[in-house]
A and B are shown apart, each in its own frame.
Chain A
Amino acid sequence: MRFFERRPPSAKSAKDRLQLVLIHDRTDLTPAVLDALKDDLLTAISQHVEIDPSSVRIEVTHEGRSQRLVADIPLRSVTRRRTG
């Protein structure tokens, strides 16, 4: 019954939501801008090396009060492609 269901404590969702909103406030990077940036990066990198677009991760991390744009772009193995 719903009546007995306990809702998860709210402090965690406050912190998680703030973490995201502060990154955007500090950097002016909205999720939409980040998506556009990701598309442009993929296009540029694909011209030189082969990558799997679905495994690319781009996120903003922070250390203290400074923000960092981190792109994790796994490269497709050339040898595997030859044998496969």
Chain B
Amino acid sequence: MGAQVITITSGKGGVGKTTAVANLAVALAADGQKVVCVDGDIGLRNLDVVMGLENRIVYDVVDVIEGRCRLRQAMIRDKRLPELYLIPAAQTRDKSAVSPSEMVRLCDELRGEVDWVLIDSPAGIERGFKNAIAPADRVIVLTNPEVSAVRDADRVIGILEAEEKGSPDLIINRLNPALVRRHDMLSAEDVLDLLAVRLLGIVPEDENVIVATNRGIPVALDGKSRAGEAFRNIARRIKGEDVPFMDFDNQGTLWQKLSRLTGRKSS
């Protein structure tokens, strides 16, 4: 009944969870869906700045849970998309201000309001992470094609399976196709081979993400960005559409293309 609750988590920090939540939310909302994002990183609030909504905050998630405001008052409406909302994290509290059962109750209330609830999990595997996964119907693990991020993703997948959250879906973020071609970065196949979970999407490394974050306008709204396109595709897969994976092979430099054509090993 009602909205599906999806939590995005990674174990390791800095792999792009907040950016992914903002972009998937924007992509779903641009597709006519009603979406609310919840920043689960209490004490280290960030989803607000990535979405460009930092100046509109009055109440936060702890205010709702502790009854200082009504749910609707803490739902900040997005500037661009009428059916996109953010419930920000509290900045001056810590993770112990919220319990897993309170998160479940909050999300149960949100289920009646929207189509999708996206939760941005904090890094780590402690209280904040436990809070973030408690209400999830579905968990997405985000990783980078890099040893420490993959190792931490594996730990998180193990914990999710042990907590009977089922096998999560995987997003590989910041893949650099030129480095993969040179065999100096783990390929998507390598990562899938190691983690053995279902792939939801691959997001290429893209400078536009930094530019978009600087402006507070998620890259999924940029029709020309490759990362934006990847996030839009993932949003459609989340909705259950069958969207083919992007082809990164036509992305190389002219020299790499020529090398492939002539059968010469590049570099």
Contacts and interface: CB of A to CB of B under 8 A. Distances in A.
Contact of A64 (B154, B155, B196): B196
A14 B185 CA distance: 8
Contacts of A64: 196
Sort chain A's interface into a size bin. 10 to 19
B196 A65 contact: yes
Interface in B191-210: 193-197
B184 A18 contact: no
Contacts of B197: 65
Contact of A11 (B157, B167, B184, B196): B184
Interface in A28-70: 62, 64-65
B196 A14 contact: no
A11 B180 contact: yes
A17 B154 CA distance: 14
Contacts, number: 47
Contact of B185 (A11, A26, A65): A11
Contact of B194 (A9, A10, A12, A22): A22
Interface in B96-154: 146-147, 150-151, 154
B196 A17 contact: no
Contacts of A25: 151, 154-155, 158
B161 interface: yes
B15 interface: no
A19 B190 CA distance: 10
The B contact surface, by secondary structure, is helix
A81 to B, nearest CB: 44
Given A18-B147, A22-B154, A65-B196, A9 B183 contact: yes
B158 A26 contact: yes
A14 B147 contact: yes
A19 B195 CA distance: 10
A59 B29 CA distance: 49
Given A9-B182, A9-B184, A65-B161, A15 B151 contact: no
B183 A12 contact: yes
Interface in B147-192: 147, 150-151, 154-155, 157-158, 161, 167, 180, 182-187, 190
A21 interface: yes
Nearest to A10: B184
B23 to A, nearest CB: 27
9 contacts: A9-B182, A11-B184, A11-B190, A14-B146, A22-B151, A22-B154, A22-B194, A25-B155, A26-B154
What 10 A-B pairs come out closest when comparing CB atoms? A9-B183, A64-B196, A65-B196, A11-B183, A15-B190, A10-B184, A22-B154, A14-B147, A14-B186, A18-B194
Given A18-B150, A18-B151, A65-B167, 15 more contacts: A9-B182, A9-B183, A10-B184, A11-B185, A11-B186, A12-B183, A14-B146, A15-B190, A15-B193, A15-B194, A22-B154, A26-B158, A65-B157, A65-B161, A65-B197
